[in-house]
Amino acid sequence: MRHSIHAEAHHFGWDRSIPPKVIVSPRSTVEIETLDSSAGQLSASSTLQDLINLDFARVNPVTGPIFVEGAQPGDALRIRFDEFHPSGWGWTANIPGFGLLTDQFPDAALHIWKYNAANPTVSSFAAGGQVPLKPFVGTIGLAPAEEGLHSVVPPRRVGGNMDIRDMSAGTELLLPVEVEGALLSLGDTHAAQGDGEVCGTAIESPINVVINIDLVKGANLETPRFITNGPVSRHLDTKGYQVTTGIGPDLMQAAKEAVSRMIDWLSTSHGISPVDAYMLCSVAGDLRISEIVDMPNWIVSFYFPRSVHE
């Protein structure tokens, strides 16, 4: 059976007491309309001032919740992402105090993206280059067992704001159930993002999502798990990568150094501003742990696809 939920049915935190917007049985298909992560405060015509005026009490909305009949604590919800229907626009921002390199980028910056909603393959960056697109769901989760309202910002064992770019068409995600009915919600849809989402935002874009929901009884998962239906970086690796590294005993510091060095490289080699390079890294580059066994130093690498500029 097919159901639908409109974006008006959104909320800004996880709470088991929020009444479900729809009740479905296992093996149901649901089409979900989402708002962008600004909850509509930003639009395709927004300016930097709109970003500066952003009300952070109304960010990262999720549509739902969906009550799944028969779901009980200890079960897992299986969600298959079947279809993505993008809006044709999105935004990326450097938000002061948010992101990996907050000390280096204290000033607000905003880029509005446009793309073909019927064929979302690439979107041009104003400072130069084209970013490959891969629509996906940034935030998807279930209500936690603990009572009260919980922030939607950090991920948790029942899912939430995971920002895993492979939550895309064909992927199957399993989430551990903590409350009766599971109470599934999703939102924060993106047109593209690199692994790490280093500046704190991706191409934030309202996208309608069609999912299939099923139930796995007695799964007893500790944390989410997922299965992709094919390669996950083919849209990026056609021309290879530029790669920088950070090396040392602290993984977070090494990650910051790897990204900072890529920003320097992109700024020098392509003549773009550091903040533009930072936003490009967030939507197209991948932060990876390359080595974590050769004590006392670990290596974090940052991969930036050459296809963006070539």
What is the CATH number for 102?
Answer: 2.60.120.580
In this structure, are strands 298-305 and 286-291 parallel, antiparallel, or unpaired?
antiparallel
pLDDT exceeds cutoff 80 at 1? no
* Region of 245 on the Ramachandran plot (φ > 0 left; ψ -120 to 50 alpha; else beta): beta
Tens of pLDDT along 61-102? 999 999 999 999 999 999 999 999 999 999 999 999 999 999
Residue 218: CB atoms within 10 Å: 8
Q: How confident is the model at residue 197 (pLDDT cuts 50, 70, 90)?
A: very high
Q: Which residues pair with 189 in a beta bridge?
A: 137
Which of 103-117, 184-198, 230-244, 273-287 is the least confident region? 230-244
- What digits encode the pLDDT tens for the residues 42-53? 999 999 999 999
Q: Does one domain contain both 120 and 245?
A: no
Q: Are residues 126 and 208 in the same domain?
A: yes
- Domain residues for the domain of 122 are 2-227
| Mean pLDDT of the region 98-107 | 97
Task: Give me the mean pLDDT over the 286-297 stretch.
Answer: 97
Beta carbons of 31 and 208 less than 8 angstroms apart: yes
Quickly tell me which residue has 């028969």 as its tokens: 70
102 & 131 share domain? yes
Q: Which region holds residue 64: left if phi is over 0, alpha if psi is between -120 and 50, else beta?
A: left
Q: Within this chain, do residues 160 and 37 fall inside the same structural domain, yes or no?
A: yes
Q: Are residues 54 and 155 in the same domain?
A: yes
Q: What is the mean pLDDT of residues 11-28?
A: 97
Number of domains present in the structure of the chain: 2
Tens of pLDDT, residue by residue over 127-142, are: 999 999 999 999 999 9
- At 246, is the secondary structure helix, strand, or coil? strand
One domain, residues 209 and 181: yes
Residue at a domain's end among 198, 227, 256: 227
Distance CA 25, CA 181 (A): 10
Whether the pLDDT of residue 310 is over 80: the answer is yes
| Residues 233, 239 contacting (CB under 8 angstroms) | no
Among 201, 227, 253, identify where a domain stops: 227
Domain final residue, candidates 194, 227, 260: 227
Distance CA 9, CA 57 (A): 17
Indicate if 272 and 149 belong to the same structural domain.
Answer: no
